């Protein structure tokens, strides 16, 4: 196999439906649907943005597919990620969530979600989460090689620092960059992916 053909094979994948996609979604129907309909698509609503940021925090150290499979249960457990409702969670809710096998039962991540809901409400006193993260939008780029994919960029480092300064937790630069990719602040579909444009 020529080197260029090998790169093409690694960065793109033709699904069983004949559609050319980024390699990472494989053939799992849930993952393929997420790739095709969500990942990289702009999200403007604060509640959905809050959900995405929280779920990226829960994903840390795990596969995103694990989180996708549990997402509906996460939504039920965390009041559909309504920041007002989650900000009101108390110690009894933390214990309830620690006993819930339908989510990732990690005390630090659960407490972080509650904390971040409170920080979200503070932020919304001045601006929307959507408008705030737009201040950190990276310059547009088109990826042609897998090697060009980053785990973090200067803008995700800056946004992570900003959120941490505001008291948010589980928002490191890698988590924040995954959030930026998921919410469409950047488009990291590989050139040639049918969802890239």
Residues labelled as active-site residues: 34, 56, 64
* CA dist., res. 68 & res. 55, Å (int): 9
Q: Which residues share a beta bridge with 13? A: 21
Beta bridge partners of 22: 12
Residue 31 token pair: 């993952």
Dihedral pair phi/psi, residue 40, rounded to 5°: 85, -5
User: What's the CA gap between 177 and 190, in Å, rounded?
Assistant: 16
Rounded to whole angstroms, the Cα distance separating 165 from 172 reads 12
CB 177 within 8 A of CB 150: yes
Q: Is 39 exposed, middle or buried (0-12, 13-18, 19+ CB in 10 A)?
A: buried
């Amino acid at each position: 196999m020529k080197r260029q053909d090998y790169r093409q094979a690694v960065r793109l994948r033709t699904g069983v439906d004949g559609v050319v996609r980024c390699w990472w979604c494989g053939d799992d129907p849930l993952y393929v649907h997420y790739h095709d309909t969500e990942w990289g698509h702009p999200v403007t609503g604060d509640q959905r943005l809050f959900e995405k940021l929280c779920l990226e925090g829960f994903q840390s150290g795990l596969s995103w597919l694990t989180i996708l499979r549990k997402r509906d249960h996460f939504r039920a457990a965390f009041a559909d990620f309504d920041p007002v409702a989650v900000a009101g969670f108390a110690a009894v809710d933390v214990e309830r969530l620690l006993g819930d096998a339908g989510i990732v039962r990690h005390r630090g991540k659960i407490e972080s979600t509650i904390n971040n809901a409170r920080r979200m409400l503070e932020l919304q006193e001045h601006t929307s989460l959507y408008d705030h993260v737009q201040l950190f939008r990276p310059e547009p780029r088109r990826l042609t090689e897998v090697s060009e994919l980053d785990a973090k960029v200067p803008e995700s480092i800056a946004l992570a620092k900003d959120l941490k300064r505001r008291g948010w937790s589980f928002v490191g630069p890698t988590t924040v960059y995954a959030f930026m990719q998921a919410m469409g602040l950047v488009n990291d579909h590989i050139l040639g992916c049918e969802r890239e444009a």
